[in-house]
């Protein structure tokens, strides 16, 4: 997942920084879209630095919006999604990074007869480019361009919301981002457009707002806006984050019905993200964060937490050692 919202009903410190942002669990309590380093923060890895690690996340909800109507989820109880997976970032140069992630997802409901799913979700890869860094006033302005692509990594079922682990669409994203830093205080804003491919489901007909005699489902594109402000120091990064995801099309869940992959899924979330790099363990990074959905449409009112452990490897140092041995 790049900024894809997949599914869901349901500095410097350039050299030593690696952190996570947890994307969205929509109403399927499922798709937890995440990324390491990340593609929507203003932190870059230096040349030949490789940051990799493991992230764990949990999302749960027992209320959801059926269209704009907020309801209790009595039939399923609490829908939970657990995610764990590798992610990382490689500094091709100080201005160009490659970021990847591949989450393993498990969903479950505390009540009802629907069984949860588990498996590998989507492989996501981003290119993150920082073409501009300029002193403006008392601070530094940096501009970024980010492109991403994601593809399903397993043959999971998408038409089983809110317990599917993903939507199975291939996603192409383009993001523009601006970051302004004065001392240790920062503000970052970004906007993303996500193009989503159509998907195929395991039935020959289905109803949205009209009857479709096909197994192909049109997936509307989406847009995301992300705002983050906070402290970015030598060892600590603490940011308040606000995030809005809007599906550019789709339709509402019908009364007392299950969600459908092409539903209009909108949500606004607020939360906090933190990163800590211990001075006594150079290269080690600990991350954590939490957020909650404050408004939505055809999504769950989810609470999300995440934590991760990363380590930064200096690949150029290893190359130098090999040359010296020769």
Per the structure, the count of domains in the chain is 1
Nearest to 299 by CA among 23, 4, 71: 71
Q: Does 195 map to a domain?
A: yes
CATH number for 61: 2.40.160.40
What domain range includes position 216? 8-325
Residue 237: predicted pLDDT: 95
**Do the Cβ atoms of 185 and 231 come closer than 8 Å?**
yes
Q: Does 180 map to a domain?
A: yes
Q: Does 3 map to a domain?
A: no
Q: pLDDT digit string (tens) for 193-245? A: 999 999 999 999 999 999 999 999 999 999 999 999 999 999 999 999 999 99
**Do the Cβ atoms of 281 and 181 come closer than 8 Å?**
no
Nearest to 223 by CA among 203, 247, 205, 200: 247
Q: 3-class secondary structure for the chain? A: CCCCCCCEECCCCCCCCCEEEECCCEEECCCCCEEEECCCCCCCCCCCEEEEEEEEEEEEECEEEECCEEEECCCCCCEEEEEEEEEEEEEEECCEEEEEECCEEEEEECCCCCCCCEEECEEEEEEEEEEEEEEECCEEEEEEEEEEEEEECCCCCCCCCCCCCCCCCCEEEEEEEEEEEECCEEEEEEEEEEEECCEECCCCCEECCCEECCCEECCCCEEEEEEEEEEECCCEEEEEEEEEEEECCCECCCCCCCCCCCECCEEEEEEEEEEECCCCCCCEEEEEEEEEEEEEECCECCEEEEEEEEEEEEHHHHHHHHHHHC
**Residue segments in the chain with a per-residue pLDDT below the cut of 50:** 1-36, 325
- Cβ count near 28 (within 10 Å): 35
Q: Does 124 map to a domain?
A: yes
Q: Does 27 map to a domain?
A: yes
Q: Please state, in angstroms and as integers, the Cα–Cα distance from residue 270 to each residue in 34, 172, 275, 288, following that order.
A: 16, 25, 17, 15
| Residue labelled with tokens 């969205």 | 24
């Amino acid at each position: 997942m790049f900024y894809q919202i997949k599914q869901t009903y349901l500095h410097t410190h350039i050299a030593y920084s690696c952190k996570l942002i947890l994307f969205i669990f929509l109403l399927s309590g499922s798709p937890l879209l995440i990324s390491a380093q990340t593609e929507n923060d203003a932190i870059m890895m230096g040349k030949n630095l490789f940051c990799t690690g493991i992230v764990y996340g949990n999302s749960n909800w027992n209320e959801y919006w059926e269209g704009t109507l907020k309801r209790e989820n009595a039939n399923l109880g609490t829908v939970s999604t657990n995610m764990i997976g590798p992610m990382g970032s490689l500094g091709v140069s100080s201005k160009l990074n490659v970021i990847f992630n591949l989450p393993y997802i498990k969903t479950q409901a505390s009540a009802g007869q629907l069984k949860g799913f588990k498996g590998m979700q989507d492989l996501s890869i981003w290119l993150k480019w920082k073409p501009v860094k300029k002193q403006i006033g008392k601070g530094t302005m940096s501009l970024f361009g980010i492109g991403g692509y994601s593809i399903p990594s397993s043959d999971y079922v998408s038409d089983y919301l809110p317990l599917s682990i993903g939507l199975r669409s291939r996603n192409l994203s383009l993001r523009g981002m601006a970051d302004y830093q004065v001392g240790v205080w920062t503000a970052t804003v970004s906007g993303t457009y996500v193009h989503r491919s159509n998907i195929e489901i395991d039935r020959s007909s289905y109803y949205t707002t009209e009857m479709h005699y096909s197994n192909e489902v049109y997936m509307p594109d989406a847009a995301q806006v992300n705002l983050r402000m906070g402290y970015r120091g030598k060892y600590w990064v603490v940011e308040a984050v606000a995030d809005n995801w809007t599906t550019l099309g789709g339709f509402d869940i019908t009364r007392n019905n299950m969600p459908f992959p092409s539903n209009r899924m909108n949500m606004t979330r607020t939360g906090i993200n933190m990163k800590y790099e211990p001075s006594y363990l150079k290269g080690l990074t600990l991350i954590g964060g939490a957020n909650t959905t404050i408004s939505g449409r055809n999504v769950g009112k989810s609470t999300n937490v995440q934590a991760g452990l990363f380590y930064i490897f200096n690949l150029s140092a290893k190359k130098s050692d090999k040359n010296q041995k020769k």
